[in-house]
Structure 1
């Protein structure tokens, strides 16, 4: 955020935002009615003099989220000046647990979150719902826990009283309850204690390099694991060259399974997926039921969801994990809007991606083999999706080609 805008500047930004949304969005009122959106805009315009700067930013995010699609978003985690508590949370089933925490409180790593700032954990999570731009519930599950470590967001949503410090209440893995004081810092510290720090088992492949694209052979199981985490060219390698290198390795090593892990893939440029599909289709030894798997989840979004559509339509893939964060058809293709006074950047969905059959109104792509991480499993360095794949024996009910495999989802 740039400087400290005054009331007139914030109102000017609000006008600029609404004008840009109406001009750039493919179908702005696909979920919220024009009348309701206008009433919310007028209410925010009137409240601006009574709000602090960080509260106005969060209210902008709330207005934008009301539009009802995940690509139209003000990413609060990217707002300059928004700080962090040394806390990383993850939602397991319907409970929040501490995935990582500051090094001063190692005993809390892996604990269940009971409350933050005196607000019960479930209420704190629900307070994030209205400010999360999402296509489905999985999008909220992916995004809301991260917002719970941003002091300005927590204060603006009434979860905590003091944005500089707060206390969380946790229940540790041994059943003990304790209160831990947290202080806001400009950045997330580098020395967080992870819940899996004391695990005897080695770190499983998905946790080793969650942002880059990479692969390795799991020798004992004759499986080729691919961490496909972004649909973008790397600074030192085009994505097409990465796929060429991957499949040259596959041709040399002749794996029995190809495991594409896209559960943390937030998208990018969907046109870069095409060489991957071509490589798979050319290789009958890998493109067969029981040999080709894709791990999907709440972090599978945008161009990665387009890839899941391509895979289910063009290959003999079996999906493992959790549902994706978008449906096969969704709004996307971000248009960037920069607000003139605050400098905030907003993404706006400029296209409707009719990527699957027009009758395909699934809210997500669901796995044939559900596999959801548990707090205890994470702490022990277990990966239920990978375990399910390695133990899998072909179920004829899963060997259903397109379009029959999705026919039940059609209206």
Structure 2
């Protein structure tokens, strides 16, 4: 990793020197530290060589298939009383289908057959399972099954076994630890010390300030080591440990906000796009950001929303006494994300956090931090920005406050929507979040895309993923199938996919699939992640301050094994200038229009 290490700014990046993640300035190595365990990138929760394949196959395979299909459907539609006897027979006829064992476990649990449910879940765990189409919103990974077994034991009052399986699930990187705390099955276990320690439950009112932060840092160290798929892939275990040791040592001399800023930097040093600390929702040490919304256009950092209208449209020249360019070089090293586009996307949050800027050495003092801007009038002004108690978790480009609102910014509050562009003979499809809408699921939305794109008036399809930071990747197959169908139709024209720094996570996976299977034309900026990346969102909550964070709990090899691309690059590189944004123009659609018009003339 090539890291900015100019001697002119060594003071400003002192925190990175202390952690020794500047591989261009110092040597970093993987050290044998107890909290970092050697573990595979893939969760090895079962042993594929331990089980012999059955030699007993159904005598009537076609009838077996029809019966198993019906039994699965009944189970998914909550008709276990009908499905249960059939499932019992099916797993005797053929023992090697993990999905049937899981269906049987679900129905046995509903019938309060505790031992039978656990036995069936263990068979499912040994064989492996797949999520059903109807449950794409909640996958059943091996760690999910382990937690389900734990909950059955807990509900049955078998606390020792419940804790054993809970530990196994956590070791296998179960990624919603906060969601377990109030699970009804664990209400009796919740009072035990071992359960509290496993899940980081703490009684804030009875804990001193020092003990509270010590508890948070200790918990963070231990849980990141287990939940993160590869915590020292970017910074060595030695330096991560030294960083936390130093933070513990300095608790008495630091303010709550300064401690929070350092925890933010620690999570950033884990080095993946899904490693994100949320410093604004805790009980102590909350970081109150500037009441400004920034965006990094190709021609600089600009204010796109502010507490004072005169500041909207202003270009930021200095942060404290440091140029924006040098400040960004420091921020992108501290919070690298998956690539520079991802770092650029999230940097606008850090530009607005004075305590983070103070820790990075960008400003001298958080409380008196200033920025110098050039207003649209040409006047340069140095301001002490007002603060506000909240900033968006995933920064996004907002609708312009003054002037024309272009199509691509007109419905950012909708998860997904379509509009026919008659002048382009195109269907415009914008997906802003891969989450089912209450009124229309993504599967239903995909069916609507099929209907609308099948119209003779639609020759091209434009998929806009510029504002799509992800969501639930299990929901994308129906959308992917429709896009491939359109692209394969010889009577249709082009499939354009608009991408950029905010195309991330589940949306990155979608464009990786399209790039591999279909033949789209990518337009815009490079994507904010890469085809193979540390991903997922393993959720944690610090026990005392109650700050939330996510870490990369799985490695997603979504592309071919040796795909080393750092992003998906656009076929048609188009950037957004501040001038185009504030004028309400969309350079990407303009480029698409030129291509379509050229194709029509040929």
TM-score class, shorter-chain normalisation, is 0.7 to 0.9
TM-score calculated relative to the size of structure 2: 0.60
1:154 Cα deviation after fit: 3.7
Q: Which of 536, 542, 552 matches 1:339?
A: 542
Instruction: Report 1:83-122 matches (<5 A).
Output: 83-93=288-298, 95-102=300-307, 104=308, 106-122=309-325
Distance 2:365 2:234 in 1: 35
The count of aligned residue pairs is: 387
Rg comparison, structure with higher value? 2
Match of 1:204 in 2: 406
SS of the residue corresponding to residue 182 of structure 1 reads coil
Distance 2:265 2:354 in 1: 17
Deviations 1:218-241 (A, max 9, x none): 222222111111111113321111
1:345 Cα deviation after fit: 1.6
Deviations 1:259-304 (A, max 9, x none): 1111111111112110012112233576789610101100011111
1:127 Cα deviation after fit: 4.3
Does the 8 Å contact 1:24/1:335 carry over to 2?
A: yes
Match of 1:135 in 2: 338
1:55 aligns to 2:235 (yes or no) = no
Q: CA RMSD in A?
A: 2.8
Match of 1:224 in 2: 427
Unaligned 5+ residue runs, structure 1? 397-411
CA gap 1:34/1:159 in 2 versus in 1, 3 angstroms: closer
Distance 2:576 2:490 in 1: 27
Match of 2:417 in 1: 214
Instruction: Report 1:361-372 matches (<5 A).
Output: 361-372=564-575
Distance 1:288 1:301 in 2: 31
Deviations 1:314-336 (A, max 9, x none): 11201000011111000112221
1:71 Cα deviation after fit: 1.3
Match of 1:249 in 2: 452
Unaligned 5+ residue runs, structure 2? 1-203, 393-397
1:195 Cα deviation after fit: 8.9
Does the 8 Å contact 1:262/1:294 carry over to 2?
A: yes
Q: Which of 12, 21, 26 matches 2:215?
A: 12
Does the 8 Å contact 2:299/2:577 carry over to 1?
A: no
Match of 1:406 in 2: none
CA gap 1:179/1:253 in 2 versus in 1, 3 angstroms: farther
CA gap 1:117/1:31 in 2 versus in 1, 3 angstroms: closer
Which structure would you say has the larger RCO, counting Cα contacts within 8 Å and 6 or more residues apart? 1
Does the 8 Å contact 1:300/1:325 carry over to 2?
A: yes
Deviations 1:339-369 (A, max 9, x none): 1111112212221111111111011111000
Does the 8 Å contact 1:288/1:316 carry over to 2?
A: no
Match of 2:555 in 1: 352
TM-score calculated relative to the size of structure 1: 0.85
Does the 8 Å contact 2:449/2:482 carry over to 1?
A: no
Instruction: Report 1:268-287 matches (<5 A).
Output: 268-283=471-486
Could you say which structure has the higher strand fraction? 1
Does the 8 Å contact 1:109/1:195 carry over to 2?
A: no
CA gap 1:116/1:7 in 2 versus in 1, 3 angstroms: same
Does the 8 Å contact 1:216/1:224 carry over to 2?
A: yes
CA gap 1:355/1:145 in 2 versus in 1, 3 angstroms: same
